[in-house]
Chain A
Amino acid sequence: MSDDRETLRRAVIDALTEIAPEVDPAAIDEAAGLADQLELDSMDMLNLIVAIHERTGIEVPERDYGRLATLRGAVDYLAAIGGSSSTDR
């Protein structure tokens, strides 16, 4: 299970550095808001969702975007959803 979490965490961080290339992954506060920390606007957030989909196969529905507000929240959410590539709509 912790391997899955670590893999997912890695995927989210890779997606984040794709969108905010100047960010140092080690400096991201897991519990703080990603949008504020990394100055992400809605286009960035959508690109993050797309990048997560590409890297993990998980489609995050719009109603769940708020669950990915922090790095920890994002990993928790993705781990709970699991590796399935289909989600309830």
Chain B
Amino acid sequence: MADFKMPSLGADMTHGTLLEWMVAPGAAVKRGDIVALIDTSKAEIEAEAFEDGVIEELLVAPGTRVPVGTPRARIRSAGAAPAATGTPSAGQGLTATPAAGPDLTATPAAGQDLTATPAPPPAGTAALHGSERQAAMREAIGQLMTRSKREIPHYYLQREIDMTAASAWLAERNGERAPAERILPAALLLAAVARAAARTPAMNGLYTDGAFHPADSVRLGVAVALRGGGLIAPALQGAERMSVPELMAGLRDLVARGRTGALRSSEAQTPTITVTNLGEQGADLVHGVIYAPQVALVGFGRVRERPWAQGGMLGVRPTVQASLAADHRVSDGRTGSRFLAAIDALLQSPEEL
């Protein structure tokens, strides 16, 4: 027995509006099935079931805006017996069958009208569209950036990375492939960051409750600019284990669905580190702001042909400025420098990524 609670789909999310139920009481769900459509202020997200089970009861009516953590639905885990009448929640009638285990029903947030029968959406809580969505998104970004600047003692490092090997590898590989199978430089950059982050725990995790919690895998946030303004950073889970073609497919998929607002809850969860690739917008170098509660942000500028001195000789090579903004509570410049050096080394052998 468990509850689906209003998930936190990003560090800046405090409330969510349940737009639509995709399941009804009695429906069997498997882990990963879409159970509801939720509106955060930044996007509409498809919420997935986190375990197999049967929906017992829907607790929140469509159109209702509730704080993160509020139970939305009760789910009976696969194999468990139906609920008991031991501790009924406000206004609910439950069937009289023996309890299978502890009743995990949390007290609903005060003031919320919880009924299993969908009610018409109260005025003002329908999905946001157009300029309302833009304004809400701007507000959410502003609050998160303010929090990051206020709470995180940032330090900044940069490193110019020679992209000759990466560019040559891409050109050769893409020259042999149809457009739909080609790889963008961004996918190589993501691969290098993910591998390096997996080996540098101080760059990959969350700072919460006054302490750093390193993650055991890399949930890589990718900053995606939305058409018309705004920014989201959906995540690729387990990025350190994904091949470059898998990262490319994942990136293409996230960008496409992120822009249409059809992300899934597993992709909207807080990343453990984020990459922002602003080169195409024209910047040479990104001085980033970490997305709290993450502890690092890697930025990439334009790939440009630059004079390059090596072995006493001067030549021209394509290079990119990689930058790191990192949390000084968790790491020092020495660790940050080694992290950037690791990214550089990985990009010198793209065939091994």
Contacts and interface: CB of A to CB of B under 8 A. Distances in A.
A14 to B, nearest CB: 16
Given A41-B225, A42-B280, A62-B174, 8 more contacts: A22-B227, A41-B280, A41-B281, A42-B185, A46-B184, A53-B178, A60-B179, A62-B182
A50 interface: yes
A39 B225 CA distance: 10
A62 B182 CA distance: 9
Q: Is the interface of A mostly helix, strand, loop or mixed?
A: helix
Given A22-B227, A41-B280, A62 B186 contact: no
Interface of A: 20, 22, 39, 41-43, 46-47, 49-50, 52-53, 59-63, 89
A60 B48 CA distance: 39
B124 interface: no
Interface of B: 171, 174-176, 178-180, 182, 184-186, 225, 227-228, 251-252, 255-256, 280-281
Given A42-B184, A46-B184, A89 B174 contact: no
B186 A46 contact: no
Q: Is the interface of B mostly helix, strand, loop or mixed?
A: helix
Contacts of B175: 61-63, 89
A42 B182 CA distance: 12
B134 to A, nearest CB: 13
17 contacts: A20-B227, A39-B227, A41-B281, A42-B184, A42-B185, A42-B186, A42-B280, A43-B186, A43-B251, A43-B255, A46-B184, A47-B256, A50-B179, A53-B180, A59-B178, A63-B175, A89-B176
